[in-house]
Amino acid sequence: MTSIVSAVLGALIVIMLIVLRSRLLSFRAQSPEEYEGKGPEFDLRRHLSGPIQCEGVIFGPTGRVSSRFVAEMEGRWEGERGILAEVFRYDSGAVQHRAWTLDLRPGGEIVATAADVVGTGRGRVAGPGVMLRYRIRLTPEAGGHVLDVVDWMYLMENGTIINRSQFRKFGIKVAELVATMRPAGAQVVEAPADMAAE
């Protein structure tokens, strides 16, 4: 009987440690307050305005790249409300359109909606960081599942935005996205020919 109690107690301790790690020491555990005053101020009306070029990769549940994409985006603002229109072109040849409606509220709060978002996304801007949490419904071709998303954007000093998102189903990470966003037409520095050959 003592060995059964010990095994159950051990299992409970392991589960508690996993839960604590995911709540305190993971990507999802970040809070906007951690970024207050720690870099350039992310102003959605400025940094998500006009034509934006985006490139990214999506990692599957095993950590391997499952898809690559380029996207053209365009942000338009009227006061505290903006529309961010996106056209994604995937390496599979698929094309996806999305239009976010972003409402800025006092204290840096963001309320976001889109056609494939279930309910309303909520987030906050703080310093160089933007966090948004929402539930997204995948296309029927991708299974139609509803996933929980934690989406972070980090503004770099040169105006480039690094985007990292994690997608979960029943609390289990099923995909991760990493992308760059910058004003369309911004120059990309290429490696010298002698370095590219190495």
Closest CA to 74 of 95, 97, 47, 48: 48
Task: Identify the CATH assignment for 35-185 out of 1.10.260.40, 3.40.50.720, 3.65.10.10, 2.40.128.20.
Answer: 2.40.128.20
pLDDT tens-digit profile, the chain (198 residues): 577 777 777 777 777 665 555 555 556 667 767 777 778 899 999 999 999 999 999 999 999 999 999 999 999 999 999 999 999 999 999 999 999 999 999 999 999 999 999 999 999 999 999 999 999 999 888 788 999 999 999 999 999 999 999 999 998 999 999 999 999 986 655 555 554 444
Structure tokens at 157: 């000093």
- Residue 197: its pLDDT value, please? 46
Residue 59: strand pairing partners: 65, 176
Integer CA distances (angstroms), 136 to 43, 89, 94, 113, in order? 25, 19, 18, 10
pTM: 0.79
Q: E strand or H helix at 13, and its extent?
A: helix 2-24
In whole angstroms, give the CA distance from residue 65 to residue 81.
34
What are the sequence ranges of the domains in the chain? 1-30, 35-185
Structure tokens at 60: 């599957």
| 107-157 pLDDT tens trace | 999 999 999 999 999 999 999 999 999 999 998 887 889 999 999 999 999
- Residue 34: its pLDDT value, please? 79
Q: E strand or H helix at 163, and its extent?
A: strand 161-169
